[in-house]
């Protein structure tokens, strides 16, 4: 005689009408194998579409399988249960390339804020994370009310590192975009120099970058900027701005 499953739901599969039955978790994490076709990407994925060398990961998955379970949560959407990816988007993309039908997943009971926090923490812990992405992750955690000291504990990094990196989130968006481009002078700055720029007011940031043409793409390396030289030039700019008559 079969046992009736409690809290079972129907998991919607994107792109077709097929569904899969999955038992809802009752508080504790569950590790199960889930259908790749049933997984739904989260719109809050802090990594965006930057998945790195996903082809290389796909080859590894073909050879060894998915060694680390992804994290998913079940979301009720008009009576249907969607299996949304919380962390592990890159593994899912690679699994699709590898043409796997099922992969291991940890099912967690999380609300929207908790799911975002888990995704942000995982993104910040990546070895290849860009410093600006790391800064954005810390800024998002702060916006959720998490103090930087707690952020450091959750991502496993020193508090001093997290505080310094979080400053970079203060860079203006267009300046941050130039920082990501190694063809620009500011894109070749050491992180310590970027720290000096990030602590000044937005108007001063724009004035400084424009004056020294730091966001322009060029073939030459130009001046070699250091934290000390940036600090000296910023001091000159601040004095000039304070003395300006408007």
Q: Alpha-carbon distance 20 to 38, whole Å? A: 8
Angle at 13 between CA 7 and CA 16, to 5 degrees: 140
pLDDT of 16 = 37
Q: Which of 144, 147, 215 is closest to 185 using CA atoms?
A: 215
Q: Could you tell me the pTM of the whole model?
A: 0.68
Give the C-alpha separation, 137 to 146, whole Å: 11
Residue 46 is predicted with a pLDDT of 61
Residue 157, SS3 per DSSP: coil
Q: What is the pLDDT of residue 144?
A: 83
pLDDT higher for 37 or 143? 37
Q: Which residues of 68-95 are buried (b: 16+ CB within 10 A; e: fewer)?
A: ebbbbbbbeeeeebbbbbbbbbbbbbbb
pLDDT tens-digit profile of 223-241?
789 999 999 999 988 888 7
* Alpha helices, DSSP H, located in 65-188: 89-97, 112-124, 131-143, 148-155, 159-167, 173-179
User: Above 90 in pLDDT, residue 45?
Assistant: no
pLDDT digits (tens, 9 = 90+) for 139-187: 888 888 889 999 899 888 899 999 999 999 999 999 999 999 989 999 9
**Over the stretch 55-111, which tens digit does the pLDDT of each residue have?**
888 999 999 999 889 999 998 888 888 999 998 888 999 999 999 999 999 999 988
């Amino acid at each position: 005689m079969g046992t009736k499953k409690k809290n079972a739901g129907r998991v919607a599969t994107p792109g077709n009408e097929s569904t899969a039955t999955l038992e809802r978790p009752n508080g504790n994490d569950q590790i199960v194998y889930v259908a790749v076709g049933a997984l739904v990407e989260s719109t809050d994925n802090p990594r965006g579409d930057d998945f790195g060398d996903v082809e290389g990961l796909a080859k590894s998955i073909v050879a060894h399988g998915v060694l680390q379970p992804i994290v998913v949560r079940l979301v009720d959407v008009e009576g249907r249960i969607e299996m949304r990816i919380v962390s592990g988007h890159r593994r899912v993309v690679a699994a699709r390339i590898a043409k796997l039908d099922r992969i291991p997943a940890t099912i967690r009971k999380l609300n929207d804020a908790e799911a975002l926090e888990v995704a942000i923490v995982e993104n910040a812990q990546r070895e290849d994370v860009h410093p600006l992405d790391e800064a954005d992750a810390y800024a998002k955690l702060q916006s959720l009310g998490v103090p930087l000291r707690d952020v450091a504990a959750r991502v496993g990094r020193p508090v001093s590192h997290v505080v310094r990196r979080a400053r970079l989130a203060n860079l203006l968006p267009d300046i941050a975009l130039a920082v990501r481009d190694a063809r620009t002078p500011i894109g070749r700055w050491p992180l310590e120099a970027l720290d000096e720029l990030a602590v000044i007011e937005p108007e001063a940031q724009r004035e400084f970058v424009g004056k020294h043409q730091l966001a322009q793409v060029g073939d030459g390396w130009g001046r070699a900027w250091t934290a000390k030289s940036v600090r000296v030039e910023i001091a000159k700019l601040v004095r000039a701005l304070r003395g300006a008559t408007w």
